Structure 1
């Protein structure tokens, strides 16, 4: 009887194991059978890794506007005008917005490195630093990690611009630094490996005189330095006056690669000369690329509508094509 009961128990156990095995295989959990691994922290860390992009060898050419990643018209029109496709497509996203996984994947599949300018509208940087926005940050981090491609992320850009609610007239530099570090640390805790962190102040000029060093989070928290500046009627008649002073400041505390993260040349009788000066100066400064605002928009702080497009005249367009080609702007981050 003892032997019989033991055999019955073994039979039942074997049947249970078989049922469990069938259920696991049906759910795709069989390790050796090619099934999908469970979603774990280790699995998240296996997503796209941006290590190879932190120090790019070429000079990229990008385009930016306020449209979503799915609104691809700016890429098509810029490609047609410039004679080459942009390697970076920058767009803006407001705080609390979800990450557009499919839209960013579409950009990357078509040869553009997505660059998201995350705008902290309607939220205080001090609250972000204190962890009061962690639920959103964790959600965003998870969404970005699930996107199988790279993302250049600019958080609270132009933090030295008084026109922003997170600028020097509203927020202390220490609050910006604390918020930046906190967002970065939450992403790190989520094992996000596909983000390039781009610190993007506006160039130091008459409208933005704040010193840049107090706003810098430190090399451990930054992959690229981005600079924003325009050739226009108020500031910016030459690279030496528009970008060089800021580059000198930055060189004193960081040796990270520099991207001109947003720029343009306003329509004027000097537009061709300014385009030539921009590309010549950017190449001499050793930047890894520049991103063009190929739209019309008001000059910051005024109602003066400026036309920054490269196609405002045949002369401007020819200068753009010749100079971007002369100095090798057109590198693609897409390697496969």
Structure 2
């Protein structure tokens, strides 16, 4: 399946805007300093209480350990070859192997390149909410659930990610601002998976840090399905000039006391010089300062449709060295 259909991007999508939702960058722009923000103050109105010490459902959260994984899609290499290259470069398997599937795809019972040390995360795109909430998709959902049950391995399910953005058909902006419709759809899929015995699935709810349009009705909090339906609270973000704290502090403060946190899709625009390796190091330190974070998944690709950006961890030798330093940190080696 073509990657364009997997990610749901139209042919006219701008290079960086669909990912980061920010202004287009130029490589000769001045490089701003990258400073990771401290955790929100405990006395602040939006500060989180003490972070969770358990949770994650079928893929349990391990306090003090961060599962470091990636979506790997490298030009000129198969998925298997790309993942094997990363295993050799990092000296270990990805803890999370992230793949995208369309709504009508047959979800995988097994994938040969997902090792016994890795957990598969499926990003499963959605249709319009009415196609789920009216019952028309129940059989399709049940078939998918049965296949997941046949996997018999813990699997992360990230359904209809970035729903608070305006470029996906499963987003609130494309569904008449019906954030409740998203919640109903998420809960219906969750219920059917339970009825089909897919209790090996851990549910990742995953908005983007930057809502578009940036109006209150479209804030990520209005899409939350409820604690009963979410195992991991995920957040995606593609940085241009933002620090990790700029993107993730608010989300952490909102959900860290309730659910383990996953940085479910992350990368950074390379603005030249040492900007990208410095940002990777800042991400490493931000995660270590936020103990409810139990997983981080890099968007490790140079094949994104309509994008000239190289999101790979080895886009430069310095970037790879920074990422390897994070991978070798004891917090990330679990």
Q: TM-score, normalised by structure 2?
A: 0.74
**Paired residue secondary structure (1:91):** strand
Query: Is 1:258 the equivalent of 2:261?
Result: yes
Give yes or no for the alignment of 1:195 onto 2:201.
yes
Aligned equivalent of 1:97, options 100, 105, 113: 105
Specify the alignment match of 1:279 in structure 2.
284
Q: In 2, distance between residues paired with 1:205 and 1:129?
A: 24
- Cα distance per residue 1:50-79 (max 9 Å; x no partner): 856332342111011469xx8312211222
Is the Cα–Cα contact under 8 Å of residues 164 and 212 in structure 2 kept in the other structure? Answer: no
Secondary structure, counterpart of 1:96 in structure 2? coil
Instruction: Output aligned runs, 1:141-290, within 5 Å.
Output: 141-171=145-175, 172-204=178-210, 210-232=218-240, 236-251=241-256, 255-268=258-271, 269=273, 270-286=275-291, 287-290=293-296
SS of the counterpart of 1:230?
A: strand
The answer to whether the aligner puts 1:306 opposite 2:306 as a matched pair is no
**Larger proportion of helix:** 1
Compared CA separation, residues 219 and 191, structure 1 to 2 (3 A): same
Pairwise CA distance, 1:193: 1.1
Deviations along 1:279-313, one digit per CA (max 9) or x if unpaired, are 111221221021111112569xxx55211111122
User: 3-state DSSP class of the match of 1:276?
Assistant: helix
Instruction: Indicate conservation of the 8 Å contact 1:212/1:249, yes or no.
Output: no
Post-superposition offset of 1:109 = 4.3
- Say whether residues 1:136 and 2:144 are aligned partners: no
> Gaps (5+ residues) in structure 2?
1-55
CA RMSD of aligned residues (A): 2.3
Q: Which residue of 2 aligns with 1:3?
A: none
Which of the residues 310, 325, 329 maps onto 1:326?
A: 329
Q: Show structure 1 runs of 4+ deviating over 4 A.
A: 205-209
How big is the shift at 1:112? 1.3
| Conservation of the 8 A alpha-carbon contact between 1:212 and 1:250 | no
Contact 2:99/2:121, CA 8 A, preserved across alignment:
yes
Q: Distance in 1 between matches of 2:255 and 2:266?
A: 18
CA distance in 2, matches of 1:206, 1:174: 17
Greater relative contact order (CA < 8 Å, ≥ 6 in sequence): 2
Secondary structure, aligned partner of 1:64: strand
- 1:78 matched to 2:82: no
Structure 1: 5+ residue runs without aligned partners? Answer: 1-49, 332-336
Q: Secondary structure at the match of 1:72?
A: helix
- Cα distance, 1:93–1:173 mapped onto 2, change above 3 Å: same
Aligned residue in 1 for 2:27 = none
Does structure 2 retain, via aligned residues, the 8 Å contact 1:162–1:208? Answer: no
Which residue of 314, 318, 328 maps to 1:315? 318
Whether the aligned pair in 2 keeps the contact of 1:87 and 1:111 (CA below 8 Å) is: yes
Q: Compute the displacement of 1:327 (Å).
A: 5.6
**1-side partners of 2:328 and 2:79: how far apart?**
27
CA distance 1:128–1:206, change in 2 (3 Å): closer
Mean Cα deviation higher: 76-85 or 181-190: 76-85
Instruction: Kindly indicate whether residue 124 of structure 2 is the aligned counterpart of residue 124 of structure 1.
Output: no
Distance 2:125 2:205 in 1: 13
Q: Tell me which structure has the larger Cα radius of gyration.
A: 1
Q: How many residues align?
A: 268
Is the Cα contact below 8 Å between 1:83 and 1:321 reproduced in 2?
no
Q: Give the corresponding residue for 1:35.
A: none
Aligned mates of 1:305, 1:114 — CA distance in 2? 27
Change (3 A) 1:206 1:297: farther
1:73-107 Cα offsets, whole Å, 9 max, x none, are 2211222233332110010111121122132xx35
